[in-house]
Amino acid sequence: MSACILGVDTGGTFTDFVLLRDSRLHVHKVLSTPDAPERAILQGIRELGLEGDELLLIHGSTVATNAVLEGKGVRTVYITNRGLRDTLSIGRQARRELYNLNPPLKAPPVLRELCLETGGRLSATGEELEPLTETDLAELRVEVERLAPQAVAINLLFSWLQAGREDSAERRIEAAMPEGLFVSRSSKVLPEVREYERGITTWLNAAVGPLVAGYLQRLRNGVPQAHIAVMQSSGGTIAAAQAGEQAVHMLLSGPAGGLAGAQYVGMQAGCERLLTFDMGGTSTDVALLEGSELRLTSEGRIGDYPVGVPMVDMHTIGAGGGSIARVDAGGMLQVGPESAGAAPGPACYGKDGLEPTVTDANLVLGRLRTDAFLGGAMSLDVDAAHHAVERVAQPLGLNIEAAAEGIIAVANEHMARALRVMSVARGVDPRQLTLACFGGAGGLHVCALAEALGMENALVPVHAGVLSALGMLVAPRARHLSRTQTGLLDHISDSELDKAFTELADEGRAALRGEGVNEKDIESHPSTDLRYRGQSYAINLPWQGVHATCEAFHRRHETLYGHRLELPVELVTLRIKTQGASLQIPLDNEISLDNPTHSSRIPGCERDVAIIARANLHPGQTLHGPALITETVSTTWLAPGWQCKADGMKNLLLSRE
C-alpha cells in the first residue's frame, strides 16, 4: 500500500480532499476549476505538501457527467444494422408530458448524417440474417474517414449473443476502423437485451470516452509519481488506465463516493438504515441505504438518456448552496436549478457574484460564520450577501432576513420532495429511518428536512463536508459484469447457470488481479434479473439456485406490487459483482477548528446561540438547540427543539426533543 492515500471529489463548487497519512486523516478543500478540473486537484496536492511523494490517488470525476448534461461530447459516428439508423432518435416514444399535444422537438442524440448502416444482422436466436461482407467493411471505413469523427459507437442487433466471439461482426467492424479513433462496441460495453438502451449507453461511452481519457492523461502528467484510480457509478473503483475505455461507468462517480462514505460511517455509528442527502454547491443527491450493500440500478438516467450500466440508485435535483434565488414573473420566489457554481460563486465569496444564493441566505441568517468558513482560510463578505438577498427582498416587500428565510424554506421544500421520492414513493416510511446529511451544505438543513418528513433522528457523519472524498478511500476495487441469457427459469439447470456465472467471475477476477488486487481478497456476488413471462421489466435478486431464487422472486414481486402471478418466471440477465477488500480507516482523529465555545445573536432566535467547534464536543455530551457546530469543512445548524450527542468518532447523533 502506498505511504499516502488521497481521496478527491471534484464538485461543482469545491474540490474536496481526504488524505490518509501515517494512520491519520487530514481534510482540505479548494475551489473547483470547471474548465480544467485537474488544476484544482494539482493545487490541493501542492497545498497538502504531497508533491514528489509516492501517492495512491482515488478520485471521483465530473468530466463525463458534465459532458453529457451539457451536450459537449466529442463528434461520434454511430454504426448499426440496415434499417435501424433512427433507433436512438425514436427511442421508446415515452412522453414526458402526456397531455401536451405539441411537445417541443428535441434534438436527436446523434445527427442522422452520423448514423451509418451495414450488414452483420442476427436473429433473436443468433442466426445470421444478413452477412457482414468485406465490401461493407471497406465502405464503412471510407464513410468514417469522410465524416472525420473522434469516436465510433457500434451497436448491432442482438450483438450480445456473440459477445465472446473473436470473429463477431462488431469486432470485425472495430478492427476495420481508422487508427486513432476511440471505438466503443455494445457487445463489450453492455452485452444485454434492449437495443435502444444498449445503443444509448454505447454511444455515451464513445462520446465522452476521449474527454475522460484526455483528462486522466493530463492528471497523470501532473502527478507522475501517483497511482491513480477512479470511482465508478456503482460504488467501486477502477484503475485510471482502464477508466477511459469505460467512461460511461463514471457518470455518477462523485455521488457514488458519497454513498460509499455514508455507508461506511453509518455502519460504524450503528445506523444501518439511512435516508441520505448530499448537498453540495450545485446539486443535492438523495438515496436510501439499508444494510452493507449499496442499492444499484441498471435503469438509471443521466439527463434525458437511459444508462444501462449499474449505478447507485439515487435521485438528483438542482438544489445546493450555490442555487440562485429569483422572483419570477408571477411574483413568486424561486430557488434553483440555476447555480452560481465555483465562478463567480455565491455573492459572499467575493468573486464578483451578484445573484442571491442559498449560501448567502444562510450567512444573512447567521448560520455561517465568517471566522470559521474553511477553518478561516476563506473569508465571507457579509455585506455582499445582504446586497444580493436584497435583490429578492425588495420585489417581495420583505426585509432582508425574512427574504433569506424564504430562500431557505423554498430550497428545503425542493429537497424534502426529493427525499419523499426515495422513501414514501417507494413504500418506505421515512419515520423508521435516520436522515444522514453530508456535503458542504448538508448540516445547515438537516433538522428542517427531518421535521418535514416527520423523522425523529438524524446523523451528521464525521467529515461530512468531505464525505464523498472519504468514500473514495473506503470503496473497494470492483467490476460489475453482465450477460443476457433468456429462457424460463425452471427449464434451466443450476449447473448451466453456475457455469455461466463462473465465466463472468473469472473475467472480473482477472481484471482485478491486473490492478494488483490479491486473489484471496476477491469476492464474487452473482445475481439474476427475473420477470414473469410477458412482462417488460425485471427484478434483480441474488442467485441462490433455481428453486430458491424463483421463490424469492415471487415474494419480492408481491412485496413491491401487492400480488404474485401464476405465471412462469423468465430469466433475462445474469450479473456478477467481483470486488476486493475495503480499506479500513480511522475516523476518530478529525483535524478541525478548536475555537473556544462562545455565543452570538442569530436572527429568528429568542436567545443567544451557542457556537461550538465539533472538536470540542466530548463523547456522550448532550448539546441542545439552537446551536451552531463548526468545523473546517462544514457547519451544522442544530435547530430549536433538537439535541445532539457526539459519539466516540465525533459523529453527531441528532434527535428531536
Please give the CATH topology (third level) of the domain spanning 4-68+213-251.
Nucleotidyltransferase; domain 5 (3.30.420)
Angle between helices 467-474 and 253-268 (to 10 degrees): 80
CA–CA distance, 68 with 98 (Å, rounded to integer): 25
- pLDDT value at position 520? 92
- pLDDT value at position 598? 64
Task: Enter the C-alpha cell of residue 477.
Answer: 476495487
Q: What is the pTM of this model?
A: 0.85
- pLDDT value at position 480? 92
* CB atoms inside a 10 Å sphere around CB 598: 10
Mean pLDDT per 10-residue interval, the chain, length 657 residues: 80 85 86 87 91 86 80 94 94 82 86 96 93 96 96 96 91 95 94 93 95 91 89 89 87 88 89 90 87 83 87 86 91 88 83 91 89 66 93 94 95 94 89 92 94 95 89 91 91 93 94 90 94 92 94 92 92 94 74 56 72 85 88 88 89 92
CA–CA distance, 257 with 139 (Å, rounded to integer): 45
Closest of 616, 276, 641, 593 to residue 460, by C-alpha: 276
Please give the CATH topology (third level) of the domain spanning 70-208.
Rossmann fold (3.40.50)
Closest of 488, 417, 486, 478 to residue 453, by C-alpha: 417
Domain 478-579 has CATH 3.30.70: no
Q: Is it true that the peptide bond before 542 is cis, omega within 30 degrees of 0?
A: no
Q: Is it true that the peptide bond before 344 is cis, omega within 30 degrees of 0?
A: yes
**AA letter at 297:** T
The alpha-carbon radius of gyration of the chain (Å, integer) is: 26
What is the 8-class DSSP label of residue 94? -
Closest of 482, 485, 416 to residue 453, by C-alpha: 416
Q: Report how far apart, in Å, the C-alpha atoms of 179 and of each of 144, 145, 342 are.
A: 11, 10, 38
- pLDDT value at position 377? 61
Half-sphere exposure of 129 (CA within 13 A, CB side): 13
* CB atoms inside a 10 Å sphere around CB 620: 9
- pLDDT value at position 375? 55
Burial class (CB within 10 angstroms; exposed 0-12, middle 13-18, buried 19+) of 426: exposed
What is the 8-class DSSP label of residue 497? H
E strands in 176-295? 182-185, 226-231, 237-239, 273-279, 284-290
Domain coordinates in residue numbering, the chain: 4-68+213-251, 70-208, 478-579, 598-656
CA–CA distance, 79 with 156 (Å, rounded to integer): 8
- Classified as helix, coil or strand, 562 is coil
